[in-house]
A and B are shown apart, each in its own frame.
Chain A
Amino acid sequence: MSEVLTSISNAIIQGKKDDIGELTQKALDEGQSAQDILYKGLMPGMDHVSDKFKAGDMFVPEVMRSARSMANSMKILKPLLIETGVAMIGKVLLGTVKGDLHDIGKNLVGMMCEGAGFEVKDLGISVEPEAFVEAVKEFEPDIVGMSALLTTTMRSMGDTIKALEEAGVRDRVKVMIGGAPVNQSFADKIGADAYAPDAAAASDVAKKLVKKS
């Protein structure tokens, strides 16, 4: 493998978010394709980070930097990938549902998805169903991720899915849900496409969801 791609992988692993832009440019200047930079440089680096994290050898602040590095490189690669018609990994729209203010878990999910190469848009906390619908129309995500930490606000997840249906955009997206009181059977009940118990699992599930579609 080319040296520059290896150094891109390493920069991801080491979370060199300020150097990655330069390295990405260097790789392009050396004639590497955007697709190769993504799949042979960034992704192997991030897979390594993800394995280390799951093994307990890397920690959230480090993964955060790696994920940010990934996103910084993707900013440069995105227009080129679109130009050459290479499929992007996907877009994730995230939010904590209406009435719920817990956000750190959702932020971690965002980070892990970013690390997996997704473009992530975070609508913040207490997001109304209508706001999800608007954002789906505007941002055109592949996945809508909803977080709820309260048994009372879990109801808003179902409401949001209904709102997506009523607006006729439900089948344009996959819906993924999570948060402490949420589980698979609740996901099935409200007709969500997937559930994940934690942020690392969330990015794995997100990858599977876009593969299927």
Chain B
Amino acid sequence: MRTNYRINSGVRFEMLSQDQLQELFDGVLHVLENIGLEVHHDEGRDILKNAGAWVDGKRVRIPQYLVKRSLEMAPRSFTIYARDGNPKHDIHIGPGRAHFGPGPTPPNFIDVETQERRPYVKDDARIVATVVDALPNIDFCESLGTISDVHPDLAASYEFAEMFPNTSKPIVAWSYGWDDSEDIHKIAVAEAGGQDAFERRPNYVHYCEPLSPLVSTFEAVDKLIFAARHRVPLIFTPCPLAGGTAPVTAAGIIIQAAAESWMGLVLAQAIQPGVPFFMGGVLSVMDMNAMILSYGAPELALMMAGATELAHFAGLPLWQTGGCTDSKVLDEQASLEGSISCFFSALTGGDLCHDVGYTESGITGSILQTVMMDEAIGYSRRITRGIEVNEDTLATDTIHNVGPNGHYLYEEHTHRYFKTEFWYPNLCDRHNFEEWEAAGKTKMRDRVIERTRDILSSHKPSAIKPATKKAIKEILEAAEARVKDKQ
């Protein structure tokens, strides 16, 4: 029996002290209360005003108590459910749990067959969903592209309709506005078995983007209102560029991003108390020479870690970012940038880590990058799982049994643990030279491509209900009718 014994299960990572976090937290409250944000949505401003915000024209300032009350109202732990009831695909949000998935909407995609960069098309959403469904370390789905071969206003609706049947992992959906948000929600509700059933077991998350610096745009607020009213778990995530649309310092960009996100928190909680809310923000640097928002910069991992710690300090889950790169191809740079940010994200326990598979600074999606990062995440997760210490793992009995000069291969202890103590790669090659040579001298990228093709030719995601299939068809027909006269 142990007494006064403390267990660290997993790797402990802590960057900012409680004092520093308190200072950041106070900084956010200061921005919200004293500087305020512009909210470009009349109804949104009215709701905020009724909740106790100070409204002056478009400018909305939020007193501290209201922010704190909203933080209290939002849950820290909740579940996003697999549409098919497969518990392995449920996502349990809560302290110490990091989840990973691709990102939304780049215009281009790396073709799996040709590896050429080309516009993203409808079938790519099926490809991405199918591969995501099969990958062991990818937990949620986003499409990695904007469908270019449908009416532009319906890109999000078609995308969801294409992904939903092809993965039962929860989807993080985006949209342009109210109408396509509604299309998406109707599909999810059809499968869940009605709005009430959906509220008990939400099967997707909705994503809205306010504008930096300090603007809650009409679309972002409109989508938030839609999601909150229908009790869809939601993400309110700005994309500030350090030195461009946000302060150049990590601490400065973190408080600005948090203020931008928490405006959404306050609004969402005013509409629907207790609706699950992820603090968001893709925080990175604007490269001052290349003039891009860098998705491969070390500062991205660092700023995101700071934002994660602040979110957790405030009692919110975070929308993390990682597994992305500025490289244009599946190469060493892509692997380096993606892997380190995945590892760092895993360490922080940032709750949903997205953009796994972004390349070229978010301009091109690549499922091949996602597949490569699945390996990096598996690798990272083995490390963050840490070292288990107990009488059995200490293995003193086994050491005694084997004694000097023996070996451990026959030991029951070895047999019991070798599968769980060790991580086995899917893609990294550990064969000896001759075996590697005989197997065709493949490089990492060859194996990534092969694995992706294998999944696509063999993986069968669980089916949606026939009634949902019918509903999808009707929803898309109605959507087409809606945009018929718009060019």
Contact = CB atoms under 8 A, between A and B. Distances in A.
Instruction: Decide whether A and B assemble into one complex.
Output: yes
Interface of A: 53, 56, 58-61, 101, 104-105, 108, 151-152, 155, 180-181, 198-200
Contact of B243 (A61, A180, A181, A199): A61
B291 A105 contact: yes
Interface string B174-190: 00100000000000000
A151 B152 contact: yes
Contact of B241 (A53, A104, A155): A104
B244 interface: yes
Contact of A104 (B148, B176, B286): B286
Nearest to B293: A104
Q: Which of B176, B211, B288 has the most CB of A within 10 A?
A: B288
A110 to B, nearest CB: 13
Given A151-B107, A151-B148, A155-B487, A53 B289 contact: yes
B291 A198 contact: yes
A65 to B, nearest CB: 12
B398 interface: no
B221 to A, nearest CB: 13
A152 B153 contact: yes
A60 B146 contact: no
Contact of A60 (B155, B288, B363): B288
22 contacts: A56-B289, A58-B289, A60-B243, A60-B286, A60-B289, A60-B291, A101-B211, A101-B217, A104-B241, A104-B286, A105-B291, A108-B291, A151-B107, A151-B146, A151-B152, A152-B152, A152-B155, A152-B176, A155-B487, A181-B363, A198-B291, A200-B291
A151 B176 CA distance: 12
Nearest to A107: B244
Contacts of B244: 104
Nearest to A125: B211
Contacts of B155: 151-152
Interface in B262-317: 286, 288-289, 291
Contacts of B241: 104
B249 to A, nearest CB: 14
Contacts of A181: 107, 363
Given A59-B289, A61-B288, A181-B363, 13 more contacts: A58-B289, A59-B288, A60-B286, A60-B289, A61-B243, A101-B211, A104-B244, A105-B291, A108-B291, A151-B107, A152-B152, A152-B153, A155-B152
B79 interface: no
Nearest to A54: B289
A160 B288 CA distance: 31
Nearest to A102: B211
A60 B241 CA distance: 13
Contacts, number: 38
Interface of B: 107, 146, 148, 152-153, 155, 176, 211, 217, 241, 243-245, 286, 288-289, 291, 363, 487
A55 to B, nearest CB: 9
9 A-B pairs with least C-beta separation: A59-B288, A181-B107, A60-B288, A152-B152, A104-B244, A56-B289, A180-B363, A101-B211, A59-B289
Contacts of A200: 291
A180 B107 CA distance: 9
Given A59-B288, A151-B107, A180-B107, A104 B152 contact: no
A151 B108 CA distance: 11
Contacts of B148: 151
Contacts of A108: 291
A205 to B, nearest CB: 15
Contact of B291 (A101, A152, A199): A199
Contacts of A180: 107, 363
A105 B487 CA distance: 27
A108 to B, nearest CB: 6
A150 to B, nearest CB: 8
A154 B288 CA distance: 26
A200 B176 CA distance: 31
B449 to A, nearest CB: 26
A63 B155 CA distance: 38
Contacts of B286: 60, 104
A211 B289 CA distance: 27
Contacts of B211: 101
Contacts of A105: 291
A105 B293 CA distance: 10
Nearest to A108: B291
Contacts of B217: 101
A72 B236 CA distance: 40
A9 to B, nearest CB: 22
Contacts of B153: 152
A101 B291 CA distance: 18
Contacts of A56: 289
B38 to A, nearest CB: 12
A198 B290 CA distance: 9
A61 B245 CA distance: 13
A189 B245 CA distance: 32
Contacts of B363: 180-181
A53 B290 CA distance: 9
A158 to B, nearest CB: 9
Contacts of A199: 291
Nearest to A62: B288
Nearest to A61: B288
A11 B155 CA distance: 50
B358 to A, nearest CB: 13
A157 B394 CA distance: 68
